[in-house]
Structure 1
Amino acid sequence: MKLNLNIQPLSTWLKPAEENKPLIIAGPCSAETEDQLVTTAHLLAKTGKISALRAGIWKPRTRPGEFEGIGSVGLQWLNRAKQETGLPTAVEVANARHVEEALAAGVDILWVGARSTVNPFTVQEIADALRGVDIPVMVKNPVNPDLSLWIGALERINQAGITRLAAIHRGFSSFEKTAFRNEPMWELAIQLKTLCPELPIINDPSHICGNREIIPYVSQKALDLDMQGLMIESHLDPTIAWTDAKQQVTPSALSDIIDNLTLRHTEPATRALSDKLDELRKQIDKLDDQIIQKIAERMSVVEKIGEYKRDNDITILQVNRWDEIMHKRSAFARALKLDVNFAAKLLELMHSESIRKQTEIMNAKSVVE
């Protein structure tokens, strides 16, 4: 299934500030004071590496009492920064009033935040407010890992007539505590790109990382996965930032991050390289066919096991046997220098399918009886 979105190329509404450099949207997490925002904007513009200036004007916070944004007055500060630096501006909108005020203030780009994307009613309200308006809109992935919600939000905005449309990948909430503030779950962004190859996807390493130290790593990986740009939070002095201090970088540090990024080609540069890649891909295709054939053979044996268990009243799940499989196969994978986590996920997937097939066989007996 392919997504049927009517969208314009990103290059028609936003371009990299430097040739052969990634597209960068940057600015403070929150507009705190006029001086803080305008000074940060000048420092970012001075780098010559910024495509657009972002700032949080309205901040949806998890708990009441936290700083929820400076409000509408921040739009005036943002407009001043735009006039003085020439940078196009971007803000998050969470309801129809935000849209109306941002448009009236001359904001150039809007984005729908993760907390809004999760609610179709909120997205529809924003979409209705945008109907008849020609402005670029970016949609962040929802807080929870739900690709359908992300797609639905993009479709609602697109159906309102917005054709300058992009997605923002900012990671997903997870109960597991890892090095990331929000788990990247790159596979969901890849699935979205597969469903709609022409849809620009911009990565938000600030929210994925939650700390500035690993922003370079995530930024490079995003570009290696052919994402079209980065949204990185930048503050003139992150140590005193009112919100998300740990994930913001100074304009100078941001410039260094950009300088150390590598932009790779989507296709081989020469015919010889292309031929070599085609040859390797043919090997992959052949191996994939063999793997699928072997999995089919495995499932055929699984069916026989299911029939045996059915006929002899044996339970489907054999915990000891499963533990034995995981232990032996993981050790074998390690010996072959395969990633153990990958091997475990593959085994779990096949085990789940084995249980499903055996359950079908058990239920088939019950239906006949």
Structure 2
Amino acid sequence: MNFNNKDTFFSNLLAERGRPLVIAGPCSAESEQQVMQTAEALKKLNVHLFRAGIWKPRSRPNTFEGVGLQGLAWLARVKEELGMRVTTEVATGRHVEEALKQGIDVLWIGARTTVNPFAVQGIADALQGVQVPVMVKNPVNPDLALWIGAIERIYQAGITDLAAIHRGFSSYQKSKYRNAPVWQIPIELKARFQNLPVIVDPSHIGGTRDLIFPLSQRALDMGCDGVMIETHPNPAEALSDAEQQVTPAALADILDKLQVRKTNYDDAELVSRAEELRLKIDAADHDLIGALARRMALVEQIGEYKKQNNVQVLQLERWKEIFRTRADWAAEAGINTAFVEELYKLIHVESIRKQTAIMQAGNPGAKTDTNPGHVS
């Protein structure tokens, strides 16, 4: 996929004001009055795109699932009377057709649709021969290949004016977030497709309005291109996602506080100092790799010892001791203990793999499991 074209809807918007792309509007279009009231307030803030959900895929029946077609007419009114660009979510080919009839400027594909290649292909088929910008949200589960696959399907339909929306990932683990950010996934997407705009949806990641600003700032600090923030004139009365919506006044405050960092150093002395620190980081990384190599050599030695003495690979008490003590050592060194715990889980998986391979070596028909791993 080639996203090097500089004359696209998204690239032009990003260059238009020299600031992050800002998409805002209610989670759901609830009434014509609510839509117009919100849009009038957001027009004063010069947001790039006015958003509102018309069809709302909900987890359970008998909840508010959007106003449907009549909401498209309200968005068309926003576009005509206020001169604002508008966007809405589509989940089927029919949604695409109806949205285009009303002149919707930008379409977005939601997380629950992205997760289904058949649904995405149906949308792609409806977009054949059409030129309209499309934004693709990540799937609900942390699967980069699935996200890229959805973008590819739309791209192969002839839509090259594309953007990705990071809205976090569902998880059973307890977290302060509604959807875990798992930042390494959008970072990897950005690394693979450097000219693909990545927009962050802090409303869905955080799930509460107090997390919107810190999540937005973190996104910009990591080079994301914009934010999509759900905005409602009276969030407490919203028919969907009330806790994560902000008023237009609160949005104005968030946008005022956001800091846009420089993309690179613009001073020779700063460049020199940064390069000096990077060289030290490289040296530290070299030492880390060397330490890991020495550790793995010891792992192989103990694997041979276990094989000679017919002792099983996994020694649970030893693993518990490592997991506990390394976290303590990290705390003493001022390193995030959760980070070290995750690091040692990976180290443990590789240690088990190596020792399992040693155990199976020389056994006819033995096949090494490339991902054994008992991590807790």
TM-score category, normalised to shorter length: over 0.9
- State the match for 2:57 in structure 1: 60
Structure 1: runs of 5 or more not aligned: none
- State the match for 1:357 in structure 2: 354
RMSD: 1.6
CA contact (8 A) 1:7 1:165 kept: no
CA contact (8 A) 2:113 2:119 kept: yes
Provide closer, same or farther for how the CA distance between residues 95 and 7 of structure 1 changes in structure 2, counting only shifts above 3 A: farther
Pairwise mapping of residues 179-198 of structure 1 onto structure 2 (< 5 A)?
A: 179-198=176-195
**d(CA) in 2 for partners of 1:174, 1:153:** 21
Do residues 213 (structure 1) and 207 (structure 2) align? no
Pairwise mapping of residues 286-365 of structure 1 onto structure 2 (< 5 A)?
A: 286-365=283-362
Provide closer, same or farther for how the CA distance between residues 38 and 87 of structure 1 changes in structure 2, counting only shifts above 3 A: same
- Deviation at 1:367? 2.6
**d(CA) in 1 for partners of 2:152, 2:15:** 29
- State the match for 2:19 in structure 1: 21
- State the match for 1:222 in structure 2: 219
CA contact (8 A) 2:209 2:243 kept: yes
CA contact (8 A) 1:205 1:215 kept: yes
Deviations 1:266-310 (A, max 9, x none): 111212111111111111111111211221121111111111101
Do residues 132 (structure 1) and 129 (structure 2) align? yes
SS at match of 1:299: helix
CA contact (8 A) 2:25 2:52 kept: yes
Provide closer, same or farther for how the CA distance between residues 170 and 57 of structure 1 changes in structure 2, counting only shifts above 3 A: same
**d(CA) in 2 for partners of 1:11, 1:341:** 42
**d(CA) in 1 for partners of 2:8, 2:260:** 16
Deviations 1:283-341 (A, max 9, x none): 11111112112211211111111111011100101111112212222211111100001
CA contact (8 A) 2:8 2:161 kept: no
Please identify runs of 4+ aligned residues in structure 1 that moved more than 4 A: 9-12
Deviations 1:37-56 (A, max 9, x none): 011100110123x0110000
CA contact (8 A) 2:27 2:240 kept: yes
CA contact (8 A) 1:37 1:77 kept: yes
CA contact (8 A) 1:117 1:139 kept: yes
Provide closer, same or farther for how the CA distance between residues 60 and 8 of structure 1 changes in structure 2, counting only shifts above 3 A: farther
- Deviation at 1:180? 0.7
CA contact (8 A) 2:105 2:133 kept: yes
CA contact (8 A) 1:10 1:200 kept: no
SS at match of 2:361: helix
**TM, length-normalised to structure 1:** 0.96
- State the match for 2:372 in structure 1: none
Provide closer, same or farther for how the CA distance between residues 228 and 255 of structure 1 changes in structure 2, counting only shifts above 3 A: same
**d(CA) in 2 for partners of 1:144, 1:15:** 30
- State the match for 2:73 in structure 1: 76
Q: Percent identity?
A: 53
**TM, length-normalised to structure 2:** 0.94
Do residues 175 (structure 1) and 172 (structure 2) align? yes
CA contact (8 A) 1:8 1:165 kept: no
- Deviation at 1:6? 4.3
- State the match for 2:370 in structure 1: none
CA contact (8 A) 1:17 1:23 kept: no
**d(CA) in 1 for partners of 2:3, 2:127:** 16
Do residues 97 (structure 1) and 94 (structure 2) align? yes
- Deviation at 1:193? 1.1
**d(CA) in 1 for partners of 2:104, 2:5:** 19
Provide closer, same or farther for how the CA distance between residues 18 and 248 of structure 1 changes in structure 2, counting only shifts above 3 A: farther
Do residues 34 (structure 1) and 46 (structure 2) align? no
CA contact (8 A) 2:177 2:206 kept: yes
- Deviation at 1:11? 6.3
Provide closer, same or farther for how the CA distance between residues 10 and 167 of structure 1 changes in structure 2, counting only shifts above 3 A: farther
In structure 2, what residue type is equivalent to 1:248?
Q
In structure 1, what residue type is equivalent to 2:175?
T
**d(CA) in 1 for partners of 2:42, 2:145:** 36
- Deviation at 1:19? 3.8
Deviations 1:113-133 (A, max 9, x none): 000000000000101111111
Provide closer, same or farther for how the CA distance between residues 244 and 9 of structure 1 changes in structure 2, counting only shifts above 3 A: farther
CA contact (8 A) 1:17 1:51 kept: no
CA contact (8 A) 1:20 1:263 kept: no
- Which residue of 268, 273, 293 maps to 1:271? 268
**d(CA) in 1 for partners of 2:4, 2:107:** 16
In structure 2, what residue type is equivalent to 1:42?
E
Structure 2: runs of 5 or more not aligned: 367-376
- Deviation at 1:10? 8.2
